[in-house]
Structure 1
Amino acid sequence: MSNDDHLHIPPDASFSRRIPDQDDRERIVCDTCDYVIYENPKIVVGVVATWDEKVLLVKREIEPRRGYWSLPAGYLELNETAEDGAAREAWEEARAKLAIDQVLAVYSLPRISQIQIIYRAKLSSPEVSAGPESQEVMLFDWQNIPWPDLAFPTVVWALNQYHSIRDQSAFPPFANPLDFRGMI
């Protein structure tokens, strides 16, 4: 249930994009009652999950970037914690059971209106298999990661940031690399 479920918007209501009173940006506004529909960034949650020294990657079955390797990740659902969402995505995409350790990184991607929260996790077992959104699932040694075939810059960031702290028990979360801030 969303916060707006108690609102009754008439079926014949019409909306337009305009700047509401007391605001500074264009929004979707009801032409009859001035109700504002706020459009907010999507939250993506995912994991850098490992078994021993191997990293779990999934080959995407869906667009965007079908056929490229990625971390298990996807959109957070309503009424779900970020940790639960990351674990759910790992199960859906790689049939992976895992224990989340801590937040690895939080990436801000304003160009595509996303916030990505990536966790560090340990697999409970090396038994993984492709879910419906994956063509293939594999555990990679660091030197065998298919770097040219990674789906998104954030996957590269997360893997490199994970690698830099892999032996640390605690660390502050990473953010976008400085040379990429605001570019994606």
Structure 2
Amino acid sequence: MGYKEEFEAIYLEKIKRDGAAELLSWLNSTDFFTAPASTKFHCACLGGLVQHSVSVYRVMMEKHFDPAADNEESFAICALLHDVCKAQFYKKGTRNVKNEETGAWEKRPYYSIEDSYPYGHGEKSVFLIERFLRLKTSEAIAIRWHMGGFDDSAKGGSFAISQAYEKYPIAVKLHLSDLESTYLREKGTSAIHRK
């Protein structure tokens, strides 16, 4: 089973909220399932965004799900959809790179950012999701702050992020799962294509 198929299987099993079918249909109309997760850092490859989304879901469920306190639908929504803002965000191109072995210049594919709707990161994901389905406050907060201190608006010390993590444990769980997935589990997926 590929990442797209795994994403859809989890999504269809766990997310039953009104508007879920329409959101999935919209995702299929974008490049969400073929886009990279980044330009050069993690999962910077075809299908990297869906790979990353599934990986974050796996980490959240394996390490942070407490059946007595947590909700499976909320975990699926937060993990699978936290980076919806990256759909229609990357542009594939080519650039010349010197081959170190031969000394010849070769065209290599790469991704650049072309953000047609520059609304921020987490808040953009919340906005796009809520066009189709209503998020619980805890889910919206978790998705909004999943980048933690890496979010531009958190730089300089924000009380909002501290309050979010204190009040909504799912926000901490999503942030930790995103970090582990990005920096520990997705190593070796940073090239647009590997030889």
What TM-score do the two structures reach when normalised by structure 2?
0.29
Q: Rg: which structure is higher?
A: 1
Which structure has the higher relative contact order (CA within 8 Å, separation 6+)? 2
What TM-score do the two structures reach when normalised by structure 1?
0.30
